[in-house]
Each structure stands twice: as C-alpha cells, then as structure tokens.
Amino acid sequence: MIDFKHSDSEKMRLYTGKGNELVKENFRALKDKDITMRIPLIPGFNDDDINLKRSADFAAQLNIPVDVLPFHSLAKSKYIALNRSYEYAGIPTQTPERLKEIAALFTASGVKITVGSDDVQ
C-alpha cells in the first residue's frame, strides 16, 4: 500500500515541501506488483472532484486498485497532548453520500476501489 495524497505536484509542494514526482515514479516502477494506492481524504486539500478524477485516471493508467480513507479526527488527542493547535477541529468526515460519489468517480475510470477497506465494486 502506497499513499497518494494529491495529483498536483505543485499543490503537494506547497503543503508538504515536496512534489509528487518521486511518488508517481514509484507507482510506475511497482505497477506490476501487488500494490494498492491509498488516498487519505483531507478536507480542502485533496477531496475535490478535480483532484480525485486525476488520481483515478492515474490509477487507471497503471491498473492499480485504490483504497480511499475517509477523513477522521483521531489525531486530535495527539495534538492536544503536544499542546499544539489542531487545525481540523470541527471538520466533519465525508458523508456516506459523498463517499458514494467519490467511489463513482473511480469506478467510472475503471478503477477497483474500496472505501475504508469496504469493497465498493
């Protein structure tokens, strides 16, 4: 399982300090292995339809299954313990309806998808 956080290298660089070129290279190099692309959904960062469609198209080109992880706030307690501000406080997880829409984007691209390890296709 390899995380794929964003299809746009410049947005990745803006948020993480690194682009996604190496990640994409690694996917291409491992496409014939038993790998899964894991996409943790992050509200306002990578859960929009444009990014998800581009991610689906990339996975489809390589014939790689995808596991989408809905957003959750389990890290909140860790931030509190470290006396740090948790920027996602109060941000809700994606609704079941939204998760179905996201799954449909991937399915329409011919990608086998699971949502939080639940088989959708």
pLDDT at 77: 86
> In the predicted model, is pLDDT for residue 121 greater than 70?
no
pLDDT at 120: 53
Taking CA atoms, 61 is separated from 72, 74, 81, in Å, by 29, 33, 42
Q: Of 2-6, 84-88, 114-118, which range is least confident? A: 114-118
> In the predicted model, is pLDDT for residue 78 greater than 80?
yes
CA 121/CA 112 separation, integer angstroms? 6
CA 103/CA 62 separation, integer angstroms? 18
* pLDDT, tens digit, 9 for 90 and up, residues 83-102: 998 888 888 889 999 999 99
pLDDT at 18: 94
* pLDDT, tens digit, 9 for 90 and up, residues 21-75: 999 999 999 999 999 999 999 998 999 999 999 999 999 999 999 999 999 888 8
Token pair in block for residue 87:
């920027």
pTM value?
Answer: 0.88
